[in-house]
Amino acid sequence: NSLDPNNNYGKIRSINDFLRDIDAGTIPLATKNRFKAQVLFFRAYRYFDLVRLYGGVPLILTSLPAIGDEAKDAAKLPRNATTECIHQIIKDLDTAIKYLPGRWNDPAANWGRITRGAAAAFKGRVLLTYASPQFNPTDLQDRWRDAYDANLQAYSLLTASGFGLSASYENIWFPASETENPEAVLVTGYNNSTGDQTKKNNGYDRATRPS
């Protein structure tokens, strides 16, 4: 259901709406491109979540009508080939890499925001998965070559922006500030400010372990 904002296609619809509407605004082109780059990263992220589970899925790159029988029929799209989906994911990530900064200004305010290196690293992850036996049972060597090249690009971009292995193992866990961890490339933030222990703890972990 692409109208459900909590599933992958619901989020993809919101992304496609944004990409459709942003050009109507009057903000500077460079700012638009950075907004688009961030949004395209997350479209690639959502499609990869679908492809790694199901293989080829319908590629919807523009918002579909939402009301009426004609809209319902228009949404009955066939699945695209896995290769087509991977190519679209890589296309979105390449655009993100082109327009995102290596680091954002004001690290404290922009902690966790997607960078050029994060997009490149995610591209490397996608292509490694595509080269793996799950999607590459005949072991096509060009897929491994593409994965190697993508990860080398990610390494080069991240190194140029000051990312890398921490000089101190202790400081990975207890840095002076979270923005000082040079290994934090693709960040997931957790809310530690609430006094509600249920919200602070990882509910997935608790739900999957025996009492």
Digit-coded pLDDT (tens) for 112-130 = 899 999 999 999 999 999 9
Task: Give how far the C-alpha of residue 18 lies from the chain's centroid of Cα atoms, to the nearest Å.
Answer: 16
- Split at pLDDT 50, 70, 90, the class of 145 is very high
- Containing H/E element for 40? helix 29-54
* Number of neighbouring beta carbons within 10 Å of residue 181: 16
Give the contacts of 178 (CB within 8 A, at least 6 positions apart): 111, 184
Q: What is the pTM of this model?
A: 0.84
| Token couple for 86 | 């991977």
Rounded distance, CA 21 to CA 171, Å?
Answer: 43
- Split at pLDDT 50, 70, 90, the class of 201 is low
* Predicted local distance difference test score (pLDDT) of residue 5: 60
83-98 as b/e, with b when 16 or more CB fall inside 10 Å?
eebbebbbebbebbbe
**Residue found under tokens 């590459």:** 136
Q: Kindly list the distances between the CA atom of residue 176 and the CA atoms of 100, 168, 193, in Å, as whole numbers in the listed order.
A: 26, 12, 18
Rounded distance, CA 4 to CA 11, Å?
Answer: 8
* Predicted local distance difference test score (pLDDT) of residue 83: 96
Give CA angle at 106 (103, 107), nearest 5°: 60
- Residue 183's Cβ-count burial label (10 Å; 0-12, 13-18, 19+) is exposed
